[in-house]
Amino acid sequence: MNALALRPVFVWLEITGLCNLKCRHCYADSSPQGDHGDMTDGDWFRVMDELKVLGVRDVQFIGGEPTLHPGLPAFIRHALKCGMRVEVFSNMTHIRDEVWEVLQLPNVRVAFSYYSDTPEDHDDVTENRGSHARTRANVDKARELGIEMRGSVINVLQAQRGDYASHELLQLGIRDVRTDGIRPFGRGAQGATPSLGRLCGRCGRGKFAISPRGEVWPCVFARWMPVGNVHTQSLTDIYDGDEMRNVRGVLEEAFPHTKAQPSSCLPDMCTPNCNPSFETCNPQLACVPDAQCGPTGSNGDGDGGEGSGKRITAQPVRMSPRRSVRYHNPGVSDTDC
């Protein structure tokens, strides 16, 4: 096994499992019943200091809903002090004054999920009435404050007005608008066992994720494959350790194209920085590299499991309990990454 290991440049910091929403497709299975885990503020500061030594350039604070963590403003300031660029992925429904303050700092931007231009669609996905109105109001406020933003339109429901949502965000002046489908993990898997074949194959190379309990995963979607814990190990030891190397090797065997053509897709194609749209695509609507660089190669074809190159057979879909349309099925999504 070659198990090529690129130096880490991007890390997801999942600072909480608590969320004020309970979105139907959430890969992290976050909800109002979640918590902040056992990582103290000091633990997160130490982690960021270690990331600086490793040469990490970018971090994304995620959850759960990261704005619900009382330490987020201090975490953002510390990451900036360590020379890293910051993105906060939020549902944009619950932003305190002190969070608004740090979001206006240089090298900080906000990413947010958006589901439809209509409250009915959006709120059906989030399972929280009024969430669309709160998100939309805070997007407007962020624009007024000059905060850099990235919109992510996720198609969850059939007949969902995702295209209209993308158009609305573009009309608001948000240049970076991306689309995605259900990632078949967490609630998005609808009870199915996580499948290695639904990953991109480059997990743990140039990127990794840290959980609210200190677990390190090769990717936020590969949370069933922990490779260490920052409570007992240094990040250098984890990233260069046997467990991470074993995971990379397993993925190379499952996705041979990642070994044969290591540069065919950028290693950070699942991260916020993979955005070629302004150089090579429609400058008004960002391309979605995870849709183009699918598990079976660069053509975006779906995967039949273990990198086989076959399309997954469509599985039965569930009816929404409150609408007459059906869910998109994760098995037929071509945006797994």
3-state secondary structure the chain: CCCCCCCCCEEEEECCCECCCCCCCCCCCCECCCCCCCCCHHHHHHHHHHHHHHCCCEEEEECCCHHHCCCHHHHHHHHHHCCCEEEEEECCCCCCHHHHHHHCCCCEEEEEEECCCCHHHHHHHHCCCCHHHHHHHHHHHHHHHCCEEEEEEEECECCCCHHHHHHHHHHCCCCCEEEEECCCCHHHHCCCCCCHHHCCCCCCCCEEEECCCCEEECCCCCCCCCCEECCCCCHHHHHCCHHHHHHHHHHHHHCCHHHHCCCCCCCCCCCCCCCCHHHHCCCCCCCCHHHHCECCECCCCCCCCCCCCCCCCCCCCCECCCCCCEECCHHHCCCCC
Tokens at residue 215, please? 């677990």
Query: For 134, what's the count of Cα atoms within 13 Å in the CB-facing half-sphere?
Result: 15
Distances (CA, A) of 47 to 11, 38, 40, 198, 211: 11, 14, 11, 29, 11
**Cβ atoms of 48 and 59 closer than 8 Å:** yes
pLDDT (0 to 100) of residue 272: 66
Place of tokens 């990198």: 307
Per-residue pLDDT in tens (0 to 9) along the chain, 337 residues: 444 458 999 999 999 999 999 999 999 999 999 999 999 999 999 999 999 999 999 999 999 999 999 999 999 999 999 999 999 999 999 999 999 999 999 999 999 999 999 999 999 999 999 999 999 999 999 999 999 999 999 999 988 999 999 999 999 999 999 999 899 999 999 889 988 988 988 899 999 999 999 999 999 999 999 999 999 999 999 999 999 999 999 999 998 887 755 443 444 446 665 443 322 233 333 333 333 333 222 333 333 333 333 322 223 333 343 433 333 333 323 323 3
- CA gap 313, 291 in Å, rounded: 18
Whole-prediction pTM: 0.80
The phi and psi torsions of 247 (rounded to 5 degrees) equal: -65, -45
Name which of 228, 253, 212, 261 is nearest 29 in CA terms: 212
DSSP bridge partners of 177: 151
Question: For residue 220, which of 337, 327, 99 has the smallest C-alpha distance?
Answer: 337
What is the rounded CA–CA span in Å between residue 328 and residue 312?
14
